[in-house]
């Protein structure tokens, strides 16, 4: 005697082969490419208290491609990237130390020792968040950050 209310058994799909969910490897290299320049600035500040500057006295850093870029603008872009990541995923990341460093470099002010200590403590969490994120999501966030930077630059020239 069978139960009329019993659920039917789920049949396996016989026509389609089993496909495992896509897995992604940690983005260790990508996170290192993004955060290594910030770490280099912090290390240099800890060693001798200086940063590289261009001819106008603005702080710059040398990226992996060998080119020199504005340090404050690059750090601001990293902050935007992490803010969008936090908003999208409902997470909280320690960004206050990066914001303090950005302000100090943007307005060419001394970087406080407390800021360097916070950065030293916060950088592993930021590296871990970026390395363990979905690569496609990170690319999308990078595009959004680039769009935001272009919009901000266009507004500045109006």
Residue 74 tokens read as 């690059």
Residue 80 tokens read as 């935007």
Does the pLDDT value for residue 1 go beyond 60?
no
Does the pLDDT value for residue 123 go beyond 90?
yes
| Cβ-based neighbours of 80, under 8 Å, separated by 6 or more | 145, 148, 149
Q: Which domain holds residue 88?
A: 28-156
The CB density around residue 142, as the number of other CB atoms within 10 Å, is 15
Predicted pLDDT of residue 156: 85
Specify the pTM: 0.79
Alpha helices in 20-95 (DSSP H): 28-48, 71-89
Q: How many domains does the chain have?
A: 1
Q: Which one is predicted more confidently, 19 or 47?
A: 47
Q: What secondary structure letter does DSSP report for 65?
A: T
Task: Report, in angstroms and rounded to the nearest whole number, the Rg of the chain calculated over CA atoms.
Answer: 22
| Cβ-based neighbours of 31, under 8 Å, separated by 6 or more | 127, 130, 131
In a domain, 2, yes or no: no
In a domain, 145, yes or no: yes
- pLDDT range class, residue 13, cuts 50, 70, 90: low
Residues in the chain: 158
| Cβ-based neighbours of 116, under 8 Å, separated by 6 or more | 42, 45, 46
Q: Are the CB atoms for 61 and 37 separated by under 8 Å?
A: yes
In a domain, 71, yes or no: yes
- pLDDT range class, residue 115, cuts 50, 70, 90: very high
Query: Which helix (H) or strand (E) is 62 found in, with range?
Result: strand 60-62
Name residue, tokens 């363990």. Answer: 132
25 alpha carbon, distance to own chain's centre: 17
- pLDDT range class, residue 30, cuts 50, 70, 90: confident
Q: Are the CB atoms for 22 and 82 separated by under 8 Å?
A: no
In a domain, 12, yes or no: no
The most confident of the ranges 9-18, 30-39, 54-63 is: 54-63
In a domain, 22, yes or no: no
């Amino acid at each position: 005697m069978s139960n009329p209310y019993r659920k039917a058994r789920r049949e396996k799909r016989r026509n389609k082969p089993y496909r495992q969910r896509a897995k992604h490897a940690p983005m260790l290299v990508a996170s290192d490419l993004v955060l290594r320049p910030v770490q280099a600035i912090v290390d240099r500040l800890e060693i001798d208290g200086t940063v590289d500057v261009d001819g106008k006295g603005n702080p710059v850093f040398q990226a992996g491609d060998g080119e020199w870029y504005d340090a404050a603008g690059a750090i601001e872009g990293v902050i935007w990237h992490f803010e969008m990541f936090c908003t999208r995923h409902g997470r909280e990341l320690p960004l206050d130390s990066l914001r303090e460093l950005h302000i100090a470099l943007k307005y060419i002010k001394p970087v406080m020792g407390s800021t360097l200590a916070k950065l030293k403590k916060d950088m592993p969490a930021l590296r871990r968040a970026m390395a363990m994120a979905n690569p496609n999501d990170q690319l999308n966030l990078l595009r959004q950050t680039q769009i935001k930077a272009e919009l901000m630059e266009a507004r500045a020239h109006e």
